[in-house]
Amino acid sequence: MTRVLSCIQPTGEVHLGNYLGALRNWVSGQDRADAFHGIVDLHALTVVDSPGVIGDDTLRLAAMLFAVGLDPDRATVFVQSHVPEHSQLSWVMECTVSFGELSRMTQFKDKSARREQDFISAGLFTYPALQAADILLYDAEEVPVGDDQRQHIEITRDIALRFNHRFGETFVVPRAVTPPAGARVMDLQEPTSKMSKSATTLAGCILMTDTADMVAKKFKRAVTDSESLVVYDPEHKPGVSNLLEILSACTGEAPSDLAGRYEQYGPLKSDCGHAVIETLAPIQERYRELLDDRGELSRLLTIGADKARRVATTTLDRAYAAIGLLPPR
Ligand code: TRP
C-alpha cells in the first residue's frame, strides 16, 4: 500500500469546510493507503507564545479527528511532539537546505510580511526543514496538499535528493499529490471566498462544534441574491450554488439535481441547515464523549505515537548511520 502522509496544525477550531473538503477524505482514504496523519503542534509553535494554548488545541483537534472517523487500527494518528525524531531530523534537514532556498519560500515571505511589527521567530524561517523531517521520517511516497503547500513539498524533494547524493540512498523522495476533490465550501456570508475561521465574522463559517440552533441560524442568514431562482451556477450564483454544494456533500445527490427540487431560497436554506445538523450530530456526540474521557483519548494517541515512533526511529537511525555520526555505543 502506498504510504501517504498528511499533517494538520492545531490552530483553533475545525469548520465544515475543513470537514467536507478534506477530513472526510482522510477517513475514506484510510483503507486505500497506509495513512499517517500528524497533528503538527511544533509547527504551531512558530506563531503561538502563550502557555497551554497549543496543548488544548491539540487535544481538541485529536478528539475531532477520531470523532469524524479516523480509526487508530487503520490509520496512524499522532502528535508531532510525541515523536522526538521530528525535532532530531529537523536539524539534519536544516543542514541540508540552504539559507537561500529558505529565503525564497513564499509562505515565509507572506507570513513574515503580515506579522510586520510582531515577533518573527527563526522557526518561521526554518519551518520547511521541520516539514521535510515530518515527511521524510515516514518514507512517505505521497503527500496530498493544496497549492499553498506545493513549494514545501518541492523543497522537501530537493532536500531528500541532496541528502541521498551526499550520504547515499537514505530517503524516499516524496511527491505532492492533489487530494481527492472534496466539496468546495464557501463562506455563507461571502460566497466568493472559501469558508475560513479567520474571516471577520463567524456568521459565514459553520464550526464543527456549533449547536443546531447556530447552524440553522447561519444558514437562514446565508447570503444568496435578489433573484429567486434556484440553479447551480457557481460563477453567477455563488451563494445559492454554495448551499447546493453543501447539501450535495451531505446527501450524496448532485447539486444540479437538487436545484430542480426548489423554487425558493427559504426551503433550500432550511433543508441545508437540517442536513448539516444531521451530519454533525453523531460527530459532535463522539467528540464530546472523547473530550470527557481523556484517558481514552490519550490511549488512542498513544497507539498512534507508538506506531509513528517505530517508523521514525528506523529512519532517523538510517540517516545518522548514512552521515556516519559516531554511534553512542
Ligand atoms: N505546512 C502545512 C500547512 O500549513 C502543515 C504541515 C506540516 C504539513 N508538516 C507537514 C503538511 C507535512 C504536509 C506534510 O498546512
* Atom of ligand 1 minimally distant from the CA of 135: 12
Q: What percent of the chain has pLDDT over 70?
A: 100
Mark whether 111 is an active-site residue: yes
Domains 3-182+294-323 and 202-288 share a fold: no
Q: For the chain, state the CA radius of gyration.
A: 22
28 CA → ligand 1 middle, Å: 20
The CATH number of 202-288, from 1.10.3720.10, 1.10.287.70, 1.10.240.10, 1.20.1630.10, is 1.10.240.10
The catalytic residue among 194, 218, 237, 269 is 194
133 three-state secondary structure: helix
Residue nearest to atom 15 of ligand 1 (CA): 8
| Count of C-beta atoms within a 10 Å radius of residue 277 | 20
| Distance, C-alpha 163 to centroid of its chain | 28
Letter string b/e over residues 185-196, b meaning 16 or more CB atoms within 10 A of that residue's CB:
bbbbbbbeeebb
241 CA → ligand 1 middle, Å: 30
46 three-state secondary structure: coil
Confidence of residue 181 (pLDDT cuts 50, 70, 90): confident
207 three-state secondary structure: strand
* Atom of ligand 1 minimally distant from the CA of 43: 7
The CA-based diameter of the chain, rounded to the nearest angstrom, is 76
pLDDT one-digit tens code per residue, 282-305:
999 999 999 999 999 999 999 999
What residues does each domain of the chain span?
A: 3-182+294-323, 202-288
Mark whether 218 is an active-site residue: no
Mark whether 197 is an active-site residue: yes
Residue type, 131: Q
147 CA → ligand 1 middle, Å: 12
Q: Which of 58-62, 112-116, 174-178 has the lowest mean pLDDT?
A: 112-116
Q: What percent of the chain has pLDDT over 90?
A: 85
Q: Cell triple for residue 280?
A: 454533525
pLDDT one-digit tens code per residue, 204-239:
999 999 999 999 999 999 999 889 899 999 999 999
Domain 3-182+294-323: state its class.
alpha beta
Residue type, 161: L
118 three-state secondary structure: coil
Task: Determine if ligand 1 sits within 6 Å of the CB of residue 145.
Answer: yes
Give, in order, the Cα–Cα distances in Å from 86 to each of 64, 115, 130, 133.
Answer: 23, 26, 7, 6
* Atom of ligand 1 minimally distant from the CA of 9: 5
pLDDT of residue 301: 98
136 three-state secondary structure: helix
Confidence of residue 146 (pLDDT cuts 50, 70, 90): confident
